[in-house]
Structure 1
Amino acid sequence: MTSFEKFHPVLTAHLTLDWLTQTPVKSIDDLFSKPSITTAKAEKMPSKILDTVKEINHIMRRVMNAKELTWGITDSNSEVFVGIISLRGFDEAAKHGSIEFIIDQDHSECLAEVVERTVRFAQDHFNFDQLSITFTNASSQTQKDLTGLGFEVIQANQFTISI
């Protein structure tokens, strides 16, 4: 498999996706205490800054071992850290991946742009047939954003797109 080391930064029209190690730990830790839009697997957040550091190290080990791609999301103009997004499913034989994220509720307008870029990135670089996103409780705006990108509702709070 291709080394994931070269897959950063990734740009959108308004956002920069880069390794979590490029974001101050305090900014990442602050994100975990703010109201956010989050997928089901991303809900369990560290509650102490030392745990945040450990989690960043664990994530970056998985990235360097080609198990997942995880980027910190920063507004390219204001340089404000707005969230984290992951592309997972590389260690499975199936061609089904998943997208996990946590985005600061105050920056919810970034959701569609960053998910769209992640889907396009997966299409361009990997052999996934489908990507899924699962929530514990998706808001109506989140549902609207995802269906607007071509995701289909498979069941309550679960969305899939064929790529």
Structure 2
Amino acid sequence: MTSFEKFHPVLTAHLTLDWLTQTPVKAIDDLFSKPTITTAKAEKMPTQILDTVKAINHIMGRVMNDKELTWGITDSNSDAFVGIISLRGFEDRSPSGSIEFIIDQNYRADLAEVVERAVRFSQDHFAFSQLSITFSDASAQTNKELGGLGFESNQANTFTIQL
């Protein structure tokens, strides 16, 4: 498998996905106190800045050990920190991976763009046959956006796309 260290930055039309270490810790910590759109596994957010630092170190350790890909999402025009997105499922060499994210509610319009890029990135670089996204409670708008990208809701709050 290719080392994950070279998979940054990743660009979309309006966003830059780069290592969390490229974003000030305060910006990441601030995200956790804002209203967000988040997947079920991304809901466990630190409540103290030192816990945020520990979480970033843990995530980057997993990235450097090829166990997950996690990027901070920044608006390419304003440099505003928008959120975090991860590709997971590398540890067990399963044909199924998952996408996890937390995105500032004020940047809801960027949700489809960043998810679409994560799907395309997965298709270009990995052998996953499907990707899934699981929410605690998916809104009707999120359901519509994911459906527009080709995801199907196969059970409550879980969406899957065949690659």
Question: In structure 2, the residue corresponding to 1:137 is in which secondary structure?
Answer: coil
Please name the residue that 2:115 is paired with: 115
Please name the residue that 2:124 is paired with: 124
Question: Matches of 1:156 and 1:133 in 2, distance apart?
Answer: 11
Deviations 1:79-109 (A, max 9, x none): 0000000000001132100000000000000
Question: Matches of 2:49 and 2:154 in 1, distance apart?
Answer: 36
Please name the residue that 1:22 is paired with: 22
Question: Matches of 2:141 and 2:73 in 1, distance apart?
Answer: 20
Question: Matches of 1:59 and 1:13 in 2, distance apart?
Answer: 26
Question: Matches of 1:86 and 1:94 in 2, distance apart?
Answer: 16
Question: Matches of 2:82 and 2:140 in 1, distance apart?
Answer: 20
Report the identity percentage. Answer: 79
Unpaired stretches in structure 1, ≥5 consecutive residues: none
Residues 1:147 and 2:152 are matched in the alignment? no
TM-score by length of 2: 0.99
Deviations 1:85-140 (A, max 9, x none): 00000011321000000000000001000000000000000000000000000111
Question: Matches of 2:60 and 2:13 in 1, distance apart?
Answer: 25
Question: Matches of 1:108 and 1:123 in 2, distance apart?
Answer: 24
Question: Matches of 2:43 and 2:100 in 1, distance apart?
Answer: 10
Deviations 1:51-99 (A, max 9, x none): 0000000000000000000000000000000000000000113210000
- What's the offset of the Cα at 1:39? 0.1
Letter in 2 for 1:112: A
Question: Matches of 1:80 and 1:102 in 2, distance apart?
Answer: 15
- List structure 1 runs of 4+ shifted beyond 4 angstroms: none
TM-score by length of 1: 0.99
Kindly tell me the number of residue pairs found equivalent between the two proteins: 163
Unpaired stretches in structure 2, ≥5 consecutive residues: none
Letter in 2 for 1:93: R
